[in-house]
Amino acid sequence: FGRALPRGGGGGGGASAVPFAERIALDDIKGRQLGYGEKPDYVVVAATLNFVRTEKMWYEACAQDGCQKKVVQNTDGSWHCEKCNSTMQDCERRYITSATFIDDSAQAWISAFNDTGLQMFGNVTADQLAVYKEEVEGEEGKFEDYMKQFLFQRFILKVRVKSETWNEQQRVKSAIVDLKPCDYKSESAALITALKALPAN
C-alpha cells in the first residue's frame, strides 16, 4: 500500500431502511436530553459524514488475539503490553475516531471505533492509513486530501448515547454502534410509506 494505498471501497451493502417513525434527528439527542438515564440510550439517525478529525484517528493496540489493549513503544522500537506482559515487534492500530455528522436539524460529534471506522473508511485499515500518513509526512495537506474522499457520504447510524463525568463536568458522548451506507431505493420506499401514513387533511 503506502503511496499505492487504494481508494476506499464500499463499506458493505446499503442499509435496509429503518422506518422513519423509529428514527430521531440529531437535534433530538440534546432536545430530549438523551444519555442522562441510568442506562445508555440507543437511537437510529440518518446523517451525512462531513468532518473527520485526522490528528489522532487510532491507537496502538496489542497484536495478541483478543487483547486490543493499548501498548507502549520501547526505545528499541518494539511494543510492550502490560496486560499480556509481553513484548512484540509490531502493534495493531485500531480506529478511535472523532467525526461530525449532519442532518437537517443539527451537527453532532460522534465517535467511531475499529469496526465502524472500517465501514466509514471503505475497509481501509488503521494500519494502512498509518503507513500512508508517515510516507506523506512533510507534504502539506496530502493526507487530509486523501481523507476527503470519505466525506459527504450518507449513513444510517445506530448510536449509543451516554453522559459521562470528567473533571466534575458532565458531558454527553455519542458513539456509533453500527452504520451502513444509505440505500436510496430503500429510503425512498420508507419515505413513501411514511407519507401514506400521514393523516389526510
Please write the tens of the pLDDT for every residue from 10-47: 544 555 567 788 899 999 999 999 999 999 999 999 99
Q: What are the cell numbers at 85?
A: 506482559
Residue type at position 39:
K
Q: Report whether pLDDT(2) > 50.
A: no
Distances (CA, A) of 80 to 63, 64, 126, 147, 149: 10, 11, 19, 30, 35
Q: What is the average per-residue pLDDT within 152-156?
A: 95
Supply the pTM of this predicted model.
0.85
Please write the tens of the pLDDT for every residue from 78-90: 999 999 999 999 9
Residue type at position 15:
A
**What sign does the CA torsion over 196, 198, 199, 201 have?**
negative
Q: What are the cell numbers at 104?
A: 437537517
pLDDT-derived band at 166 (thresholds 50, 70, 90) equals: confident
Q: Return d(Cα 24, Cα 35) in angstroms, integer.
A: 14
